């Protein structure tokens, strides 16, 4: 009965997580599509069914298996382990997005400077973007290539840049898109505007590196503090086998183990927030 209850709870939790994830993806894609074709965003009725891809189905199955294994080994509280695969996948995706965002922050200013240099020798903006897209590093290369492709299909440059800025979640690209849009609507010296944007991005990048250097000690301390309990538990278990078994064999021990994991996650999130101050501007 306990295993069946854990199975049902794990299945419900995994299904709910997959539904929320798929629905968020659908809404984001729909919003970008409406903006790319120049329409206002409008509310639409949610579909009655959500299509899951193979990765989501595999993730749900893995969460279910982990939840059942946790119930068998740890008891009813082990059902919370079913959320571990979803958490790991989400963490890896956010980490990849953060790395891409950091790479974009580093590569955008040099790429825009190359665009400015191309504009100064008489090339138009689309040609300059196409020229830079062949030599820039990722992710700037793919972003500029997408903008050039959409522009050649009839889209405005500022609209294509805005769509890429929202897709990447990058404020600097939004500023570039706004500058290009103002130039398209009202004219002006685009070279001077983009040069000012490049200077602003470079100054912010220097400020970000300074903050990273100042907070490096705190981030390292947080990593050590988070790893110390786990390292101590493993060391004690190796030196004295069976010493930590009450943590998984007794109800109170299992409750303490779950509480320790929850507190560790909360502490990790808090220390991470302290070690990564936001740069506002």
Task: State the average pLDDT over residues 93-97.
Answer: 83
Return the pLDDT at 47.
Answer: 42
Matching residue, tokens 């891409």 = 100
pLDDT for 208-227, tens place per residue? 888 878 878 877 887 888 88
**Chain centroid to CA 219:** 20
Q: Check: pTM over 0.85? Answer yes or no.
A: no
pLDDT class of 34 with cuts at 50, 70, 90: low
Q: Which of 100, 89, 98 is nearest to 56 (CA)?
A: 89
Please, what is the average pLDDT of the chain? 76
Q: Which of 3, 17, 15 is nearest to 90 (CA)?
A: 17
Q: Which of 158, 160, 164, 165 is nearest to 186 (CA)?
A: 158
Most confident of 46-60, 81-95, 100-114: 100-114
Task: State the average pLDDT over residues 152-157.
Answer: 86
Matching residue, tokens 């299992």 = 254
């Amino acid at each position: 009965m306990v295993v069946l209850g854990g199975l049902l709870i794990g299945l419900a939790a995994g299904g709910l997580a997959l539904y929320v994830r798929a629905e968020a993806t659908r809404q984001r894609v729909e919003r970008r599509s409406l903006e790319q074709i120049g329409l206002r965003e409008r509310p639409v009725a949610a579909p009655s069914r959500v299509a899951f891809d193979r990765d989501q189905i595999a993730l749900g199955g893995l969460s279910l298996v982990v939840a059942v294994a946790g119930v068998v080994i740890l008891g009813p509280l082990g059902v919370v382990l079913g959320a571990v695969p979803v958490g790991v996948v989400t963490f890896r995706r956010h980490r990849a997005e953060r790395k891409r965002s950091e790479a974009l922050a580093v590569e955008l200013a040099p790429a825009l400077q190359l665009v400015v240099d191309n504009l100064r020798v008489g090339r138009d903006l689309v040609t300059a973007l196409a020229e830079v897209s062949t030599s820039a590093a990722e992710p700037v290369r793919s972003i500029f290539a997408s903008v050039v492709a959409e522009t050649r299909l009839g889209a405005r440059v500022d609209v294509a840049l805005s769509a890429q800025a929202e897709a990447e979640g990058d404020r600097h690209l939004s500023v570039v898109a706004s500058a290009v849009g103002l130039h398209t609507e009202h004219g002006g010296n685009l070279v001077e505007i983009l040069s000012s944007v490049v200077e602003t991005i470079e100054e912010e990048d220097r400020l970000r590196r300074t903050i990273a250097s100042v907070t490096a000690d705190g981030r390292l301390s947080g990593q050590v503090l988070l790893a110390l309990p786990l390292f101590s538990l493993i060391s004690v278990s190796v030196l004295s086998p069976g010493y930590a078994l009450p943590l998984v064999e007794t109800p109170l021990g299992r409750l303490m183990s779950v509480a320790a994991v929850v507190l560790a996650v909360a502490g990790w999130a808090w220390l991470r927030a302290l070690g990564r101050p936001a740069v506002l501007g």
